[in-house]
Amino acid sequence: MIRLNQIDKHYEQVVALNRVNLEIEHGKLVVLIGPSGCGKSTLLRVVNRMIEPSGGQILIDGKDALDIDPVLLRRSIGYVIQSAGLFPHLTIRENVAVVPHLLGWSKARRLDRADEMLALVQLDPHKFGNRYPKELSGGQQQRVGIARALAADPAVLLMDEPFSAVDPITREQLQEELLRIQRDVRKTIVFVTHDIDEAIRLGDKICLMRDGAVVQYADPDTMLRHPADAFTAQFIGQEPELKRLGRHNVGDFMRPGTPEPSLAGAERVGQASSARSALSKLLGGQSSLIVVDASGAAVGHVSLSDFAALA
Ligand code: ADP
């Protein structure tokens, strides 16, 4: 668990963080969101002391982070940034093994671990392990960034707008991947985004900030149904009911079974993809969608009437 008590950060006249209190439960994914300049990146970086707070207390699993050597603290916390930040002169496998290397793991152990992590993020280690970052797409590099952050098995992962530099389709795939990985590894994750839909899809809780302070800290459903104030309601924006659909996978709405042959030409969507994007495809004119599992096998189909329960 991470507990931030009365965290302040001042830059001369600028108050970047103003007495922030936040408790992040073990194994939960908390999204920090808010308008540009509200302090979300500063708050994220205070957790691993890339930024030293001006005041307050940071407790990680009961230990005062301000008593820990900041270099050791940072090695014990995974960190993922927007453009992956891979070392261009190291292979993918070596990039993933960077923190285990710093921690003194044997070569065999750290390279085995790197391959295990590449497989976890669905990159075949035999195919990608010896390549260099520039030989991968942006989305693949981002997966490597996640593999690298998880390599030393940290309890805490900090993710700073990790998916904001990729195209919308890749972004949705990466969000699905993160949810799948999180079901396996159950890390305590702090995730910064400026995208409310991403926050709703990923967050166990959302922390909405403004002017260096927390405006509302709640699970997405509560925030959508009961915004704390007019600012929160405005930030969530139009159609909160539709936004809530982002919490569901299309598999929750599909009719299971082998789709009829007449549907053979229909667009295919992954079972774990968001119900909201399936609904937009259906509203956009597709009469049905075939739902496929992770191996690509059809497991059901979905059409507009399957969303009728929402009405
Ligand atoms: P966000 O991530 O929400 O966009 P930041 O955490 O980056 O916001 O910044 C919060 C506030 O602190 C902003 O007003 C920003 O201009 C200010 N700030 C951030 N870093 C510095 C710095 N190194 N020097 C001065 N002001 C800073």
Q: What is the pLDDT of residues 197-214, one digit of tens each?
A: 999 999 999 999 999 999
Q: Kindly state if the Cβ of 21 falls inside 6 Å of ligand 1.
A: no
197-202 CB contacts, 8 Å cutoff, 24+ apart: 197/243, 197/246, 197/276, 198/31, 198/163, 198/171, 199/31, 199/33, 200/224, 200/243, 200/244, 200/246, 200/247, 201/175, 201/246, 201/247, 201/274, 202/29, 202/31, 202/175, 202/178
pLDDT at residue number 265:
86
Please check whether residues 183 and 263 belong to one and the same domain. no
What's the whole-model pTM score? 0.90
Packing angle between helix 168-185 and helix 107-120, nearest 10 degrees?
120
- The residue among 200, 217, 244 that closes a domain is 244
- For residue 84, pLDDT over 80 is answered with no
CA gap 69, 215 in Å, rounded: 32
Please check whether residues 68 and 160 belong to one and the same domain. yes
Instruction: Compute, in angstroms, the gap from residue 39 CA to the centroid of ligand 1.
Output: 6
Query: Closest Cα to residue 297, out of 258, 263, 249, 255?
Result: 258
Please check whether residues 224 and 301 belong to one and the same domain. no
Please check whether residues 22 and 153 belong to one and the same domain. yes
286 near 263, Cβ under 8 Å? no
Q: Kindly state if the Cβ of 42 falls inside 6 Å of ligand 1.
A: yes
Instruction: Compute, in angstroms, the gap from residue 255 CA to the centroid of ligand 1.
Output: 48
Expressed as residue numbers, the domain containing 102 is: 2-244
Amino acid at 66: L
- The residue among 224, 244, 264 that closes a domain is 244
Q: Give, in degrees to the nearest 5, the angle at Cα 171 between 169 and 176.
A: 100
Nearest CA owner, ligand 1 atom 24: 11
Q: How confident is the model at residue 114 (pLDDT cuts 50, 70, 90)?
A: very high
Please check whether residues 238 and 274 belong to one and the same domain. no
Phi, psi dihedral angles at 16 (to 5 degrees): -80, -35
206 near 199, Cβ under 8 Å? yes
Instruction: Report which listed range, 35-49, 59-73, 80-94, is most confident.
Output: 35-49
218 near 31, Cβ under 8 Å? no
How big is the chain, counted in residues? Answer: 311
- The residue among 193, 211, 244 that closes a domain is 244
Please check whether residues 194 and 151 belong to one and the same domain. yes
SS3 170: helix
Nearest CA owner, ligand 1 atom 26: 11
Please check whether residues 38 and 173 belong to one and the same domain. yes
Please check whether residues 158 and 278 belong to one and the same domain. no
CATH of the domain at 127: 3.40.50.300
Span 56-66, mean pLDDT? 92
Span 2-23, mean pLDDT? 95
Please check whether residues 53 and 202 belong to one and the same domain. yes
CA gap 154, 185 in Å, rounded: 10
pLDDT in tens, 284-305: 888 899 999 988 899 999 998 8
- For residue 3, pLDDT over 80 is answered with yes
For ligand 1, what atom is nearest to the CA of residue 36?
4
pLDDT in tens, 216-256: 999 999 999 999 999 999 999 888 888 888 888 898 899 99
Span 275-289, mean pLDDT? 88
Please check whether residues 37 and 167 belong to one and the same domain. yes
Span 249-276, mean pLDDT? 88
Please check whether residues 182 and 259 belong to one and the same domain. no
- Structural domains of the chain, count: 2
The tokens of 83 are what? 């453009």
Nearest CA owner, ligand 1 atom 1: 37
Please check whether residues 166 and 302 belong to one and the same domain. no
Helices in 162-219 by DSSP H: which ranges? 168-185, 196-202
pLDDT at residue number 170:
84
CATH of the domain at 270: 3.90.1280.20
Q: Kindly state if the Cβ of 287 falls inside 6 Å of ligand 1.
A: no
